[in-house]
Chain A
Amino acid sequence: MLKYLLPFILFVVLAVFLAVGLKLNPKEIPSPLIDKPAPAFALPVLAGPEKVLKQSDLLGQVWLLNVWASWCISCRDEHPLLLQLAKLQLAPLVGLNYKDESAAANHWLEKHGNPYQINVMDADGRTGIDYGVYGVPETFVIDKRGIIRYKHIGPVNPGDLEKIFLPLIQQLQAEAA
C-alpha cells in the first residue's frame, strides 16, 4: 500500500509547492522596511521648491506616501484610484515625485488631476533608495509614530484599495499616537 501511496503523496506535495510558486509574483520582494521607522527625508516641495518638507513634519498622523513619476506608465492606471482615495479624506496622501522633472510633473498633475496633499521632489532618486523603491509606482502606509506598516509595489487596483488600504488606514487611525 505504502509503495503506491508514497509516490502519490510526494506528487501532491510537489504539485502544491509548484501551484503556490505559480501564484507568487517574483517582482514583489518583501520589504525589510515594514515595521521600521520611515527613513528621514527633507525634500523640496513640487509646488514651491523654496519650501522643504521633512518626514518628521508628518509625525502624529497616518499618512500615505505614493512614489510616482510623469514618465511612469502604470502610474496612470492607479491615478483614478488615488483621486478616489483623496476624496475620502481619510489620510493625507504625500507624493514622492521620483526621478522626474518638475515641469513635466506639474504638467502631468494639471492634466490628470492632483490627488496629493503635497508633493516632494526626489530628483536624483536618493530618497527612493532609502525607501527601497525599485518599481514605480509604490505606496507606503505610515502610522502616527512614523512607522512603515505596509508597502504596495506596483499600481494599486480597486481590490487593493478596498481590501487592504481602507481597512488598514482605519485600523491605524484608531491606534494611539
Chain B
Amino acid sequence: MNAARQALGKLWVLALLLCWVWPVAAGVEYRDFKQPEQEQAYQNLINELRCLVCQNQTIADSNADLAKDLRRQVYEMLQQGKSQAEVVAFMTERYGDFVLYKPAFNLKTGLLWLGPALFLFIGLVTLLIVIRRKKSLVKPALSTAQQTRLNAILEKGEQD
C-alpha cells in the first residue's frame, strides 16, 4: 500500500516536472556582454524588432536567416556602444516602422495607435444616443392624478 502510494507520488512529481517546460526561444546564440545593462538592452531590442520574413515573430523568436543576421547586427551595435534608440533608428531607416512591434507615434502610425480609442469613443457615443432615444420613448406610465393617488396609497397603506 505504502509502496503504491510512493510510486503514485513519484508519478505526480514527474507529471509536474513535465509541465515545467520553458518556452523554447530561437534566439539562442551565446552572446558575451560586459555589462548586464547591455544584455538587458539586447534582450529588449530583439524582443521588440519584428522578423520581416516571418511577420508575426520577433527576431528573438524567429529562426529565419534574416532574424539571425539582425540579431548579430543588434549585438554588434551594442558592443560598439550604441544606445537602444540608435539601434532602433538604424532598423527603421532600413525597414520602416513596420520592423517595430511598438512603432513610434507619428503621422503615419497615428491611426494605428488612436484607432481603438476612436472606435471605443464612437461606440460609446452611439450607445449614449440609443439609450437617450429609448428613454424619451418611454412615456410616464401614470398621469399626475394617478401618481398623487399612488403616493397617497403608499403613505397610508391600502384603504379601498
B65:A26 contact, CB within 8 angstroms: no
| Given A29-B98, A32-B92, A32-B93; A134-B69 close (CB under 8 Å) | no
Give chain B nearest CB distance to A42 CB in angstroms. Answer: 18
Name which residue of chain A comes closest to B108, CB basis.
A30
Say if the beta carbon of B66 comes within 8 Å of chain A: yes
Residues of A contacting B93 in the complex (Cβ-Cβ under 8 angstroms)? 32-33
Name which residue of chain A comes closest to B97, CB basis.
A32
Say if the beta carbon of B73 comes within 8 Å of chain A: yes
Say if the beta carbon of B31 comes within 8 Å of chain A: no
When each residue 113-154 of chain A gets 1 if its CB lies under 8 Å from chain B and 0 otherwise, what string results?
000000000001110111110110000000000000000000
Say if the beta carbon of B87 comes within 8 Å of chain A: no
Q: Give the residues from 27 to 50 in chain B that come closer than 8 angstroms, CB to CB, to chain A.
A: none
From A33, A99, A129, A131, residue with most partner B Cβ within 10 Å: A129
Determine the interface band of chain B, counting residues with CB < 8 A from chain A.
Answer: 10 to 19
Residues of B contacting A99 in the complex (Cβ-Cβ under 8 angstroms)? 65
Residues of B contacting A124 in the complex (Cβ-Cβ under 8 angstroms)? 69
Residues of B contacting A132 in the complex (Cβ-Cβ under 8 angstroms)? 94-96
Number of A residues near B (Cβ < 8 Å) is 18
Say if the beta carbon of B131 comes within 8 Å of chain A: no
Instruction: Name B95's contact: one of A26, A27, A29 (CB within 8 Å).
Output: A29
Instruction: Name A31's contact: one of B55, B66, B73, B96 (CB within 8 Å).
Output: B96
Say if the beta carbon of B88 comes within 8 Å of chain A: no
Residues of A contacting B8 in the complex (Cβ-Cβ under 8 angstroms)? none
Q: Give the residues from 22 to 45 in chain A that come closer than 8 angstroms, CB to CB, to chain B.
A: 26-27, 29-33
| Given A99-B65, A125-B69; A33-B94 close (CB under 8 Å) | yes
Say if the beta carbon of B53 comes within 8 Å of chain A: yes
Instruction: Name B70's contact: one of A30, A31, A129, A131 (CB within 8 Å).
Output: A129
Say if the beta carbon of B52 comes within 8 Å of chain A: yes
Residues of B contacting A26 in the complex (Cβ-Cβ under 8 angstroms)? 55
| Given A29-B98, A99-B65; A134-B52 close (CB under 8 Å) | yes
Name which residue of chain B comes closest to A36, CB basis.
B93
From A26, A124, A126, A132, residue with most partner B Cβ within 10 Å: A132
Give chain B nearest CB distance to A96 CB in angstroms. Answer: 14
B96:A129 contact, CB within 8 angstroms: no
Q: Give the residues from 66 to 92 in chain B that come closer than 8 angstroms, CB to CB, to chain A.
A: 66, 69-70, 73, 92
B94:A29 contact, CB within 8 angstroms: no
Residues of B contacting A31 in the complex (Cβ-Cβ under 8 angstroms)? 96
A29:B69 contact, CB within 8 angstroms: no
* A residues lining the B interface (CB < 8 Å): 26-27, 29-33, 99, 124-126, 128-132, 134-135
Contacts A32-B93, A129-B69 known; list 9 others, CB within 8 Å.
A29-B52, A29-B96, A29-B98, A30-B96, A32-B92, A33-B93, A125-B65, A129-B73, A130-B94
